Structure 1
Amino acid sequence: MVAPNNRLIAELTGVAPKEKRSAVIQMAPGYYDASNTNRERDWGPVSSGGVFEDHHFTDATRSITLARLRKEIRNNPYLAGLVNKFPEAVGYSNLRSRTPVREYNEAKELFWFRWSKSVTVAGDSLRTLEEIILRELLIAGEVFLVLLNSGKVQVVPSEFCGSPWLNGASADSNEINGIRYNAVGRPQSYRFGQSTIFGTVDFSDRASTVVQARNVLHVYHKDRVLMGRGLPWLLPSLATARDLYEITRAKTKQIKDVTSLIGYLKKSIDSEGIEKFMRGYDPEEEAEPTAATADDAADEAPATGRKIVLAPGSFPELEEGESIELLNSEYQAQDYKELIMLMLHAISSPVGLPVELWFSGLGDVNYSGFKGLGTQWNARRKYILNLLEGNYLDRLHFWRINKAANEGELPPNPVNDDDLIEWAWKRTAVLDDEKHAKSVTLRLKSGERILADFWEEDGLYEEEVLERRRQFYIKAMIAAGELAADVDPTTVKVPLTFLLKNEIPGSAPDKPENVKEDASENQDRAA
């Protein structure tokens, strides 16, 4: 169970909680450094329930953390740049049916294409939904998709899933952080609260809605055993991102201050004059009568030294014996860039997207280093894609396609196997397309890969590539007058070389790169 908030209970009930005294237990150093405590290293308070993730990241902690993250992304340009680049770097899905029946594959893909134009109850497309999910994984670590009878999806943010406050785990001891579990720890239902006029979320029984788990897709990354809710992927980056934002603002203000003349006037006068000057002494005031009463004296404002405010580009005229002593003549910035880069790496490391792929204008990474970063991101991207497919895309497809088949919108699967699908994703961007093309050619010649493999890297399948080339060939032959306009396309034979290499019949073959030109031809060209 989640421990109740004593301060909140005291405010609601009016009963002050009992004070607990904590004592620091000094223990002799043990064999393991990881369990030892000393003054040189701050491990924080020892927690006996560290294995229970949901007991620490409670509704209250989640509310504060997510509010800070969402605000920081809207104001911090560094964090906003990372979040905005992330969906673009991951890419978007494309469903391909892989049953042996071509007619069914085309019907399913057409249905999915049309349905994906409006997926949510708000009318958002599947591409928009995928972008929202990727952003929510960074900010909240999770998102809930409620499957409705209408065939639409309702998107519920993380903040709207929770349990009533007073008893921490609701009246049911099996409910933790808005999720009710069965005896073996499997989610049975989810509690979604309702927003109030005060900007909070009400999770009470009268205001919340409990939805069965079979109708909810809980998209999150589970990385430990006792973990029922997701953690923001940017959670370790928030403090560093805030520090970077404040450091940048402070450095900017420091630079602006240098452009202004800030200092003090220095006079060469005797010791008596210095004392009067420090007291705000003005010689003209000596001729004025002094205050008649103590009340009149109290009403007088204390005298101060002169304050000169300069407009940009101006300079004061100094009197005899005066000089100006500046307080800020320069600013230090020797290690500023190194510090910024170190903090940027710390921000992006938990996400796995290298800084050089979303923070432009670095100029410190050479060609080989950039290729290495691309390889690093390619591996991380494949891991994220597998996570997305397993967590919600496969389940979303299974629910919607079965619903369409039961309601007659789609013919039944001829092989009765809905797992015969693939999610096509465009390949990760490469730095040098020319070198990539040479690598593809070498792999094709060696027999390591086939053309279909490289087509699929671009999100295409061999059937549609070959059909598109066939249609282009027929249209080109009709335009050239080689075929009649009313020809039956099914009777036209397309050369295999064109389908595989776009080679027009009768065209001159490409000259091998290693064949040298005849010397006589060179002489004729020179003449």
Structure 2
Amino acid sequence: MLKRLSGIIEQLRGGNVPPSTASGRSPRQPFFSRLRAKYDAANTTLDNMKHWSRADGLSAASANSPDVRRTLRNRSRYEVANNSYARGITLTLANDVVGTGPRLQMLTPDANANRIVEQEFFAWAESVGLAEKLRTMRLARVSDGEAFGLLTSNDKIDAKVKLDVRLIEADQVASPTLTLDRERYIDGITYDADGNPVSYDVLRQHPGDVTFAADEDYDTVPANGVLHYFRCDRPGQIRGIPDITPALPLFAQLRRFTLAVLAAAETAADFAGILYTDAPANGEADAAEPFEPIELEKRMLLTMPGGWKMAQMRSEQPSTTYSEFKKEILNEIARCLNMPFNVASGNSSGYNYASGRLDHQTYYKSIRVEQSQLAHAVLDRILHAWLREAVLIEGYLPNSLRTLDADTTHQWFWDGHEHVDPAKEANAQKIRLANHTTTLAIEFARQGRDWEAELKQRAKEMELMRQLGLSASDEESLSPTQVKEDNAEDVPHAN
């Protein structure tokens, strides 16, 4: 060992090392070629030791254990229920993702079949409150990390198809008490050899119910009857954690700071004034009891003891940094949801048109990604279950739908986002259509509307206008830019 260390020291000094060193390396292989590159973030020092002390190498399933997820759910639910900002952020996100609900457009070659399916599915969705349930699932993903829906049958539904979606909280999908874990069975979900879910164990009562018993019964539901909606952040992750998990400490800091500022302001306001003296400790001044309260009458003059003065306590709360602190905290909170600050705070006073549009581009892209996931994980499976039941009803749907693959014969439309300047957007649409860089289907889809339905409606309106002898005004046939220029010419100019 000493020989090896002496050889290393000698080579560091630039000396020669005999070929037969203890390291066993070839003499043609320099020592420095064996060094490994290092990263500052991989070094553990006295300064960063405490910061990285909680870092671990657990798998996704172990890191998101039932105890960890239960704690995160309880804390996030509490924060959403008691923090106005947390409540508003989650509601805004659910409304922007789901809106008034998705709309189905069938793309089969049979136009009549498409129309029938779209109308009947829309009527069924209205009867079961599908849009409201989707918004609830999105809210649950923010605070619970995941949402579950059971595809069941409900005879009370006012539709021919009795399919229903019953939502349950993540607490009910768990391994039953005293049930030993077995191979490919994790946290209430059984998987096959390829990692696909086979069945879910669902408790018949919520663990938080007062009537819940330790030996509560459960139902094993096949995977094709369960909708599991969550965001997978790591390979191998099978259960979700709340979307606002990184922001939970920030919500607590925001509330603590607000309460501290309020308490300081109230403390300062509780004192009408204070007595103080400029005399030294042993100077001449009348005796005054320290901390003795003095009752003051309204609109009356007051004399002070000799050598004493009265001054009103100055309230310095809230400080000038209070609003800046809240702004930075809210900005950091909203970042984990890809939400701009003005949407999270409900305040766009510090924005101009360009900055507002730029921030919303990232937000709207995130909304489109979430809508795509929601359509794939929830809506497509609901449509498949609805079609499977609908085709069994004699004479309800055309027979042409029995042999079609629903994966490639439909699409979903969502609510569009209003443009800040409708005139500019309309002019841009006209230019894109004129140079064939877009289609009516794309432009209507951006507004969450079906282009075929809109054109049919427009044709009906034009036909009725012709029957009534009405025609579009000249101003309506002009582009928004031309209308704006024409209106500007009518305004008298100042001399």
> Are 2:172 and 2:207, in contact at CA under 8 Å, matched by a contact in 1?
no
Residue 76 in 1 paired to residue 83 in 2? Answer: yes
Find the counterpart in structure 1 of residue 46 from structure 2: 39
Deviation at 1:455, TM superposition (A): 2.0
Which stretch shows the higher mean deviation, 94-103 or 306-315?
A: 306-315
Find the aligned partners of 2:237 and 2:354 in 1 and give their Cα distance.
Answer: 40
1:219 pairs with one of 229, 239, 247: 229
Asked whether the 8 Å contact 2:262–2:318 carries over to 1, the reply is no
Q: Is 2:249 the counterpart of 1:239?
A: yes
> In 1, distance between residues paired with 2:247 and 2:295?
42
| Aligned counterpart, 1:287 | none
Corresponding residue number in structure 1 for 2:7: none
**Structure-2 residue corresponding to 1:113:** 122
Q: Aligned ranges for residues 331-346 of structure 1 at < 5 Å? A: 331=317, 333-346=319-332
Partner residue in 2 for 1:451: 440
Counterpart Cα distance in 1 of 2:223 and 2:75 = 29
Alignment-mate amino acid for residue 464 of structure 1: A
Residues 3-18 of structure 1 correspond to what in structure 2 (within 5 A)? none
Pairing 1:14-29 to 2, within 5 Å after superposition: none
Report the equivalent of 1:103. 112
Q: CA RMSD in A?
A: 3.7
* 2:265 counterpart residue number: 255
Q: How does 1:63-462 map onto structure 2 within 5 Å?
A: 63-90=70-97, 91=99, 92-119=101-128, 125-150=129-154, 151-164=163-176, 170-195=180-205, 199=209, 206-261=216-271, 264-266=274-276, 306-308=292-294, 318-324=304-310, 329-331=315-317, 333-408=319-394, 409-414=396-401, 416-419=404-407, 420-462=409-451
Give the structure-2-normalised TM-score. 0.77
Query: 1:363-417: per-residue Cα shift (whole Å, max 9, x none)?
Result: 2222211110121112111111111111111111111111111233433344522
Assess, with a 3 A threshold, how the Cα gap between structure 1 residues 429 and 310 changes in structure 2: closer, same or farther.
farther
Pair 330,405 (structure 1): closer, same or farther in 2 beyond 3 Å: same
Q: TM-score, normalised by structure 1?
A: 0.73
Q: Residue type of the partner of 2:141?
A: L
Matched AA of 2:53: P
| Partner amino acid, structure 2, of 1:156 | I
Separation in structure 1 between the aligned mates of residue 307 and residue 130 of structure 2, nearest angstrom: 76
- Is the 2:264–2:317 contact (alpha carbons within 8 Å) kept by the matching residues of 1? yes
Deviation, structure 1 residue 195: 4.1
Residue 148 of structure 1 aligns to a residue whose secondary structure is strand
- For 2:43, the aligned partner's letter is N
Q: 1:161 offset after TM fit, Å?
A: 1.7
The residue matched to 2:309 in structure 1 has which SS?
strand
Higher mean alpha-carbon deviation, 374-383 vs 178-187, is at 178-187
How many angstroms apart in 2 are the aligned matches of 1:314 and 1:201?
A: 65
Letter in 1 for 2:406: D
Q: Which runs of 5+ in 2 are unaligned?
A: 1-35, 155-162, 491-495
Correspondences of 1:44-59 after superposition (within 5 Å): 44-45=52-53, 49-50=57-58, 52-59=59-66
Contact 2:73 2:144 in 1 (8 A): yes
Which stretch of structure 1 is more off in the superposition, 265-274 or 153-162? 265-274
Please state whether the residue corresponding to 2:270 is helix, strand or coil: coil
Q: Deviation of residue 443 (structure 1)?
A: 0.9
**Which residue is equivalent to 2:24?**
none
2:456 maps to 467
What are the ranges of 5 or more consecutive residues in structure 1 without an aligned counterpart?
A: 1-28, 120-124, 281-304, 483-501, 523-527
Change (3 A) 1:410 1:317: farther
State which drifts further: 437-446 or 206-215. Answer: 206-215
Q: Distance in 1 between matches of 2:353 and 2:298?
A: 45
1:339-361: CA deviation from partner (whole Å, max 9, x where unpaired): 22211111111111212124233
Following superposition, the deviation at residue 261 of structure 1 comes to 2.1
Mapped to 1, the partners of 2:204 and 2:353 lie a distance apart of: 52
CA distance in 2, matches of 1:417, 1:180: 28
**Residue 207 of structure 1 aligns to which amino acid in structure 2?**
D
The Cα of 1:427 is off from its aligned counterpart by 2.7
Between 1:174-183 and 1:345-354, the stretch displaced more is 174-183
The answer to whether the 8 Å contact 2:189/2:199 transfers is: yes
Alignment-mate amino acid for residue 152 of structure 1: D
Supply the distance in 2 between the matched residues of 1:118 and 1:336 (Cα, whole angstroms). Answer: 48
Percent of counterpart pairs with the same letter? Answer: 22
Cα shift readout 1:442-496 (whole Å, capped 9, x = no counterpart) = 112212123332122222223212221222233334444x9xxxxxxxxxxxxxx
Q: CA deviation at 1:185?
A: 2.8
* Contact 1:162-1:203 at 8 Å conserved across structures: no
Q: Could you say what secondary structure the match of 1:429 adopts?
A: coil
SS of 2:148's partner is strand
Partners of 2:195 and 2:300 in 1: how far apart?
74
Mapped partners of 1:215, 1:178: distance in 2: 15
> Contact between 1:144 and 1:219, CA under 8 Å: does it hold in 2?
yes
The 1:317–1:89 alpha-carbon spacing in structure 2 relative to 1, beyond 3 Å, is farther
Q: 1:272 to 1:357 in 2, by over 3 A?
A: closer
SS at match of 1:403: helix
Whole-Å separation in 2 of the counterparts to 1:59 and 1:508 = 62
Count of paired positions: 435
Distance in 2, Cα, partners of 1:61 & 1:313: 62
2-structure distance, mates of 1:237, 1:308:
47
Segment drifting more, 236-245 vs 83-92: 83-92
